[in-house]
Amino acid sequence: MRFGADEPLMMDSGIALAPWQIAYQTYGTLNADRSNAVLICHALTGDQHVANDNPVTGKPGWWLTMVGPGKPVDTNRFFVICANVIGGCMGTTGPASTDPTTGQPYALNFPVVTIRDMVRAQGALIDRLGIETLFCVIGGSMGGMQVLQWAASYSHRVFAALPIATAARHSAQNIAFHEVGRQAVMADPDWRGGRYLLEGTRPSKGLAVARMGAHITYLSEVALHRKFGRNFQDRSAPTFSFDADFQIESYLRYQGISFVERFDANSYLYVTRAMDYFDLAAEHGGSLAKVFKGSATRFCVISFTSDWLFPTSDSRAIVHALNAAAASVGFVEVESDKGHDAFLLEEPEMFAATRGFIDAAARVRGIA
């Protein structure tokens, strides 16, 4: 979806971005009442290909467990929309897009993006699609931040909200991890001050290291131990070198290498920054309860026991604020040892809660 020079995206940084475009996928059919639209918000390195094969990687959609025919987000019943975030690199305008004033990639001239900017861009898309009220907005991690921002900025346009494994503000520890990742990218000589596309290089090593570090935070100690333990990789003894002796090393290296093939390094800087800046209460004098005051949206908050990146205490803070605001909220902490990534995986308890919440909300909304 393209927006011309006369339809700029007004960003939190004060910059009016134009022209701009947003890449999205849809599944299912919008009903006559236009009341069955579900917006899925993707996480940091996700994209719009939630339930179809990814054209870049060839891999299946990233949330096939949750979205599809007969799944909790049933594409036979709902019109499902998923859009690439502003600042991303899968078709929506971002730092790798061409700056019309220079004819060159934006690189670091791209305005710094916030979660609210991402939601504004999605709002413009939803407007264009002729949808006034979204039946449900769903997302995990950074996607959950967008869900909360939707509920805060466009409360009247969100009938139900399902923020999963997320927080109303990014913690100091999480900002710290992101900073390590960004410094890894910027320390790569091939980053060239962000101008690598112009200069024909790619900061692959730096971005891979960033991904390796981040990937650890998505897992849990228990899951790592179960999957890899201290097992050697294709060998029976240490090689007394810095080769990838351990399976976990080999695994992380693979994660790093495969990531750089699909993700733009500058986008990684921008999108991590958006998460760092996220602090929903700050917009309302520090009171999260005020953010949701008078909200008619129905919320269901889900967290995971072993998620130490977005721990249950973060979700409870959201729930407490919603309670204090007298909003309608359900909350369940799912028992899982898979860490933050659990929300993307096979977690029957999460599916049961999601299905129950969505089906009940659909009955109230009058969706068949």
Judged by the rule CB under 8 A, the positions of this chain that interact with another protein are 298-301, 319-320, 323-324, 326, 328-335, 349, 352-353, 355-357, 359-361, 363-364
Q: Find the shortest distance in angstroms from Cβ 161 to another protein.
A: 12
* CA 4 – CA 69 distance, rounded (Å): 35
Q: Find the shortest distance in angstroms from Cβ 27 to another protein.
A: 24
Nearer to another protein, 19 or 356 (CB): 356
* 81: β partners: 26, 39
Given the residues 47, 315, 340, 341, select the one marked as catalytic.
340
Given the residues 264, 276, 307, 314, select the one marked as catalytic.
307
Given the residues 141, 267, 295, 336, select the one marked as catalytic.
141
Nearer to another protein, 345 or 352 (CB): 352
Backbone angles phi, psi at 56, to 5 degrees: -85, -50
Nearer to another protein, 58 or 348 (CB): 348
Check if the beta carbon of residue 82 is closer than 8 Å to that of residue 42: yes
Torsion of CA 348, 349, 351, 355, to 10 degrees: 130
Strands 104-105 and 98-99, bridge-based pairing: antiparallel
Q: Find the shortest distance in angstroms from Cβ 139 to another protein.
A: 18
Nearer to another protein, 274 or 367 (CB): 367
Q: Is 287 a catalytic residue?
A: no
Between helix 265-277 and helix 204-218 the angle, nearest 10°, is 40
* CA 95 – CA 110 distance, rounded (Å): 5
* CA 220 – CA 107 distance, rounded (Å): 34
Q: Is 307 a catalytic residue?
A: yes
* CA 300 – CA 355 distance, rounded (Å): 11
Q: Is 204 a catalytic residue?
A: no
- Give the CA angle between residues 350, 351, 353 to the nearest 5°: 65
Q: Find the shortest distance in angstroms from Cβ 271 to another protein.
A: 31
Prior bond to 311 cis, omega within 30? no
29 backbone φψ class: left, alpha, beta (φ>0; ψ -120 to 50): beta
Q: Find the shortest distance in angstroms from Cβ 347 to another protein.
A: 12
Q: Find the shortest distance in angstroms from Cβ 316 to another protein.
A: 8
- What residues are annotated to the active site? 141, 307, 340
